[in-house]
Structure 1
């Protein structure tokens, strides 16, 4: 059984990524644990953001030639049991992120892996920036495109459903 991808992308986000790639060439994401803009997935032209030796490659999104999704090492330690789903919502993006002028922003959503998925992922070593720079290739399948974020991380029933609108 193949381990699940650590990163997925919604159809809306993938469509904008394809447009951004046509304008800027190859692109990448970096998800840090910072505050403000740093807590959003930031989209850059490939190579404009220097990946650190301890950053972790979550995977390649299945968009065009593949869009790498990086996360800071300390943030990966916190999120390693969570599948990252990159979505697109109306609003102003981060100041340095490529979608900023488009009237949309990328948003990270998460889904906790099941016990079986965590067991599969335990057998797949996370690829660090240092290993990638030395020529290592990303393991596992490409992060697929899902129609909607709810397809990958459904809204919980219960308390959230009881909040009046």
Structure 2
């Protein structure tokens, strides 16, 4: 059985710090419902990118890791394969967000931290 799920299913592989939830609430108050897509690009490193729902097309092969603050978090299937034994924690640090991410310009940005999980045999 494949342990990967499609964008229509959900894993429980992501959580958020209180600081991330506070920034998320601020962004949702300004922009309405959002979604996160874990960046794997060279320009944004591994920042979780935050977009208005409906303005970012989630691919059929993207994996829904779970939700934070009621907002969905996705990752590409290829990146998920590399990180599938990792639980992600969305946090906030000082700095600028990704160019197209809604945290840009707020002088704090989302950052993904990870915890390696022990896989049961």
TM range (shorter): 0.7 to 0.9
Q: Answer whether contact 1:31 1:38 (CA < 8 A) is retained.
A: no
Give unpaired runs (5+ residues) of structure 1. 120-165
1:41-52 to 2 correspondence within 5 Å?
Answer: 41-52=48-59
CA distance in structure 1 between the aligned counterparts of 2:81 and 2:119, rounded to whole angstroms: 17
Aligned to 1:56: 63
Task: Please state how far the C-alpha of 1:114 moved relative to its aligned partner.
Answer: 1.9
- TM (norm. structure 2) is 0.86
Aligned to 1:90: 94
Aligned to 1:72: 76
CA distance in structure 1 between the aligned counterparts of 2:41 and 2:98, rounded to whole angstroms: 12
- TM (norm. structure 1) is 0.64
CA distance in structure 2 between the aligned counterparts of 1:102 and 1:32, rounded to whole angstroms: 19
1:4-15 to 2 correspondence within 5 Å?
Answer: 5-15=12-22
1:9-158 to 2 correspondence within 5 Å?
Answer: 9-37=16-44, 39-61=46-68, 63=69, 66-116=70-120
Q: Which structure shows the higher strand fraction?
A: 2
Q: Answer whether contact 2:85 2:119 (CA < 8 A) is retained.
A: no
Task: Please state how far the C-alpha of 1:110 moved relative to its aligned partner.
Answer: 0.4
Post-superposition CA distance 1:68-90 (Å, at most 9, x none): 00001100000010001000000
Post-superposition CA distance 1:75-119 (Å, at most 9, x none): 000001000100000001111010101001110100011234xx6
Give unpaired runs (5+ residues) of structure 2. 1-10
The count of corresponding residues between Structure 1 and Structure 2 is: 111
